[in-house]
Amino acid sequence: MNSRIAAGLMMSATLGCSIATANCTVAKAQFFRDSDRNANPFQRLFGFGSSSPIPRTLVNFSGPYRPGTVVISTSGRRLYLVTASGQALSYGIGVGRIGFTWAGTHTVSMKREWPDWTPPSQMLHRRPDLPRHMVGGIENPLGARAIYLGSSLYRIHGSNEPETIGQAVSSGCFRMTNEDVVDLYDRVRVGAKVVVLR
């Protein structure tokens, strides 16, 4: 690398750091917006790199919730992870279709990477064509990660159908893009409180 290229790279890095320091809000918002252009073909093959129709952002958030709490707004089609007083990460989600929405408070009881899926008997009764069991993987409807809510049948999980984010499509679970659910999975702990609002 010649000295002219090295000097140009140093100047770009310095300018970038100065802009980020001068405007922290912009830097934070940009940090949480992932672009499909940066995803490599391997990521796309496994359900990553598809931009959500509702980008992940850092937002102002009020309420009596402690950092680490997950708050789900079913009507708003958003999941909020409280990060500090007055602040949360906002993720777009798919929610339960009419007749399958619910509200309540649970805790994260378990987390799994590339989880297996065994449809519950209620779902099999409605959809006898479904498989009785599916091993984890890209074809699995639970996607890259699953976060289990107490002893309920419900989960926050990934999806290989980013176009369904922001829609009422599920049987009561909350779906996210695989990118977003991996991000949430790494941030939320087992035992965290999850508040589901209508």
- Reading the block at residue 92, the tokens are 């777009």
Strand partners, 5: none
CA angle, residues 114, 120, 121, in degrees to nearest 5: 155
17 is catalytic: no
Coil, strand or helix: which one is 56? coil
Strand partners, 176: 158
Length of the chain equals 198
- Per the residue annotation, which of 17, 106, 125, 173 is the catalytic one? 173
Give the burial class of 101: count Cβ atoms within 10 A of its Cβ; 0-12 exposed, 13-18 middle, 19 or more buried. middle
- Per the residue annotation, which of 17, 125, 133, 157 is the catalytic one? 157
Buried-exposed string 159-176: b where 16+ CB fall within 10 A, e elsewhere: bbbbebbbbbbbbbbbbb
Distance CA 59, CA 97 (A): 26
Place of tokens 């007083």: 85
24 is catalytic: no
Gyration radius from the chain CA atoms: 19
Supply the residues annotated as catalytic.
157, 173
